[in-house]
Amino acid sequence: MDHLKPSSANSSPLTPLGFLERAATVYGDCTSIVYNSTTYTWSQTHRRCLQLASALTSLGIKRGHVVSVVAPNVPAMYELHFAVPMSGAILNSINTRLDARTISILLRHSESKLVFVDYLSRSLVLEAISFFPPNIQAPLLVFIADYDEEEAKAAVDPDRTYEGLLKTGDPGFKWIRPETEWDPMVLNYTSGTTSAPKGVVHCHRGLFIVTVDSLNEWTVQKQPIYLWTLPMFHANGWSYPWGMAAVGGTNICLRKFDAATIYAAIRRHGVTHMCGAPVVLNMLANAPDARPLKQPVQILTAGAPPPAAVLFRTESLGFIVSHGYGLTETAGLVVACAWKRQWNRLPERSGRDVQVHE
């Protein structure tokens, strides 16, 4: 038998962007995003991303251009994970905790054509732009205003806002699919803890595979309620922006959080899944008013293993902890601690009386 050859009927470039298209069809009237008083469905999120992708192309953004974003876990940050690559551009999510000089270096190195800036990072990014040499053109800035906050309305130019730009886009836009699955989709920078930040480019194929693998490894069910306690700028939220679209989940967005905010969101929204560094587990374990959860919550942590005392305490509260490890260079988690059935026979130890220290 002759080998099968790729054709349009049996082969198309792998990309996680298609998960949004499917979510709009399969879960169209289901909730996609919740943020304060704002709620979107998957059909609305799909339409908004198409509009934004259309608006970006109208501004001259082309295939291969870099579009950066400096923002916390607000709805715009989530939408940009789809809208920017749907315009053919490459998304660069920048750590909001960096200083202005470092951000300036990243914007120049990436040759960013446009930067979406959260209103609280406005002065930070403007300072970063001030470090540009005269012979390098500064990127266009578009500000993300939080209309639940009065401060945001005064901080940005109403003619250069995210929502204003989005409204100019065509909801019927035919998004720009990758020519090959090896086309670049995101550009991330390492944290620079050991040296200067290094750029890492990931393709559509790689992000598709990492997204599916992350869902499978964590055994994420359909339509989870996912709480965004992991920064999306951190390795693209370990691929879960695209993963939540794949399973029709609900994204509970948080601009900032503490233990009380997390527990309140869990109770209010019925959260089933969340991610975070070990420090988040420690925060939950040490909360003075922490009470056992009414229903279990899956929490995925990564990096250095959490101390045993933290694990005992968080599990005693009703969290089911999973642990993995990844790098910016791997686009997400690549190693996970797989639970073994024989471990269920090990004696339990209560963390209720264990004092946890940072």
Query: Does the pLDDT at position 355 exceed 70?
Result: no
* Helix-then-strand count for the chain, H and E: 13, 14
- Specify the pLDDT at position 338: 83
Query: Does the pLDDT at position 357 exceed 50?
Result: no
Spell out the domains of the chain, with CATH numbers in brackets: 37-203 (3.40.50.12780), 210-345 (3.40.50.12780)
Residues with Cβ within 8 Å of residue 129, at least 6 apart in sequence = 104, 107, 138, 139, 141
- Specify the pLDDT at position 151: 59
- Specify the pLDDT at position 351: 44
- Specify the pLDDT at position 261: 96
- Specify the pLDDT at position 336: 86
pLDDT digits (tens, 9 = 90+) for 146-173: 866 555 555 556 568 999 999 999 999 9
Residue 308: half-sphere exposure toward Cβ, Cα within 13 Å: 3
Length of the chain as a residue count: 358
Beta-sheet pairing, 184-189 with 199-203? antiparallel
Asked if 56 contacts 67 with a C-beta cutoff of 8 angstroms, the reply is yes
Lowest average pLDDT, out of 107-116, 222-231, 342-351, goes to 342-351
DSSP letter at 184 equals: E
Residues with Cβ within 8 Å of residue 278, at least 6 apart in sequence = 301, 303, 304, 305, 306, 307, 310
Closest CA to 26 of 185, 211, 247, 240: 247
Query: Does the pLDDT at position 238 exceed 50?
Result: yes
Cα 138 to Cα 74: distance, rounded to the nearest angstrom: 25
- Residue 343: phi, psi to the nearest 5? -65, -20
pLDDT digits (tens, 9 = 90+) for 5-25: 887 778 889 999 999 999 999
pLDDT digits (tens, 9 = 90+) for 32-51: 999 999 999 999 999 999 99
Cα 276 to Cα 237: distance, rounded to the nearest angstrom: 9
Lowest average pLDDT, out of 207-216, 281-290, 349-358, goes to 349-358
- Residue 4: phi, psi to the nearest 5? -70, 145
Query: Does the pLDDT at position 88 exceed 90?
Result: yes
Task: Report pTM.
Answer: 0.92
Residue 307 class from Cβ within 10 Å (0-12 exposed, 13-18 middle, 19+ buried)? middle
Q: How many CB atoms lie within 10 A of CB 295?
A: 10
Cα 222 to Cα 239: distance, rounded to the nearest angstrom: 16
